[in-house]
Structure 1
């Protein structure tokens, strides 16, 4: 039932853009594997082999730390309504920080979000679709505004302090790169 493709086809892109949630997966050569749910209109398909997404402030910063050690990345979308489908994009990625020269260019492709820590830039090497027959049906009732309110309340200086306190190392103690790349967020 699974099919592999060497790029994102138009129907894949339409499926990706219709989903309200996606999942990222990363791992360093040693230590814990990380899987994170994402949402909030924070992802863009730039081309058949390129996807970018905002890494919004959270309690950890595992993906950024993993990418410093191993650039492997997997993204996954599941259909929770209508036609059952799972789509995975496999490839390599890099973290782009506020101080990197291409930060503004990449952010221009995404809606602004307070609390954006990094942009992840992924080169897609393979896309796989599978049935998703066992994925349950869910109704989407809307996005949460909790993270936006929390980051707005913190303000740029509060976010910077939070990143330094909570986001400079992974669960396994590896650096995430954020400490060397901080500037006051916009």
Structure 2
């Protein structure tokens, strides 16, 4: 039987943080609008604000094996995750318009479990004070475009008995690599603009402001991607609005280095996982009759061949 809580029990937090993927569901207010269901899965993107028995608030990503947190007496009513750049921006649009959101986790290993967080979402885009506080330059990942902050008002658990077992192989690196290249284009353009401003004669001749220089590289960079690919949802609800206007530079990943894990393994799985093993009297009898028929046919053909040879 499912259970409901008005908060996230502390005993479920370690399990939640061990999950490698979660799903985010949102929808626009329009009756004919499209419901969005988006999978998320990069390490260190999900954060739970843990409320301890002593009244402290701890970010789950700061916990180490030596941290003394009594999860039996802890709880949480707030989570947030680092929203990475994608081809769409449905979650940002819906959260900005109405805030309704559900986040779901489920077990692929160990005992079955499904966990849903029902809440109200806020969007903090790259360059806003809230974003900078939560994700300063040294902590953000390549492609990070916003923080999705969720105030949780209901938590539901259910069995998950029908969910199959899956083994975790590793993260994909494609998005990190794509975003690091795009951000580097922005950063290199930013450095060239700074150099141009520093060398401008206007700043020394009459003290007036230097000539205006675009902060976006023409037809390049991640900010232009946000500007032209992420401004609205598929239902024309406003999505990314300010991140591309921020004068704050994106990451210099050539110097800092992006964290890549094992190489992506996108090999095609073997086809034997499609084999259906049938069991039961009818299926077994069918296999027996099929085998008997093939045997009779083969014997008949062999007899005729032998008789014709003589």
Whether 1:85 and 2:113 are equivalent positions in the alignment is yes
| Structure 1 or 2: more strand by fraction | 1
Shift of 1:111: 4.9
Is 2:4–2:155's contact at 8 Å kept on the other side of the alignment? yes
Is 2:27–2:34's contact at 8 Å kept on the other side of the alignment? yes
Structure 2 equivalent of residue 166 of structure 1: 229
- In structure 1, the gaps of 5 or more residues are none
Is 2:145–2:243's contact at 8 Å kept on the other side of the alignment? no
Write out per-residue CA displacement over residues 93-113 of structure 1, whole angstroms, 9 at most, x where no aligned residue: 1000123211122226x9531
Whether 1:46 and 2:111 are equivalent positions in the alignment is no
Structure 1 equivalent of residue 53 of structure 2: none
Q: Name segments (4+ residues, structure 1) moved above 6 Å.
A: none
Structure 1 equivalent of residue 9 of structure 2: 9
Write out per-residue CA displacement over residues 12-51 of structure 1, whole angstroms, 9 at most, x where no aligned residue: 1111101000000111111111010001121100130000
TM-score by length of 1: 0.94
Write out per-residue CA displacement over residues 38-87 of structure 1, whole angstroms, 9 at most, x where no aligned residue: 01121100130000101100000001111121111100001001100000
Write out per-residue CA displacement over residues 134-181 of structure 1, whole angstroms, 9 at most, x where no aligned residue: 1111010111111101101112521111111110010111111x2334
Is 1:81–1:138's contact at 8 Å kept on the other side of the alignment? yes
Is 1:97–1:117's contact at 8 Å kept on the other side of the alignment? yes
Alignment of 1:25-44 (within 5 A): 25-30=25-30, 31-41=33-43, 42-44=45-47
Structure 2 equivalent of residue 134 of structure 1: 162
Alignment of 1:66-145 (within 5 A): 66-107=94-135, 111-145=139-173
| Structure 1 or 2: more helix by fraction | 2
- In structure 2, the gaps of 5 or more residues are 51-75, 187-220, 252-310
Distance 1:112 1:181, change over 3 A: closer
Distance 1:139 1:61, change over 3 A: same
Cα separation, 2, equivalents of 1:111 and 1:104: 10
CA RMSD in angstroms comes to: 1.5
Structure 1 equivalent of residue 93 of structure 2: 65
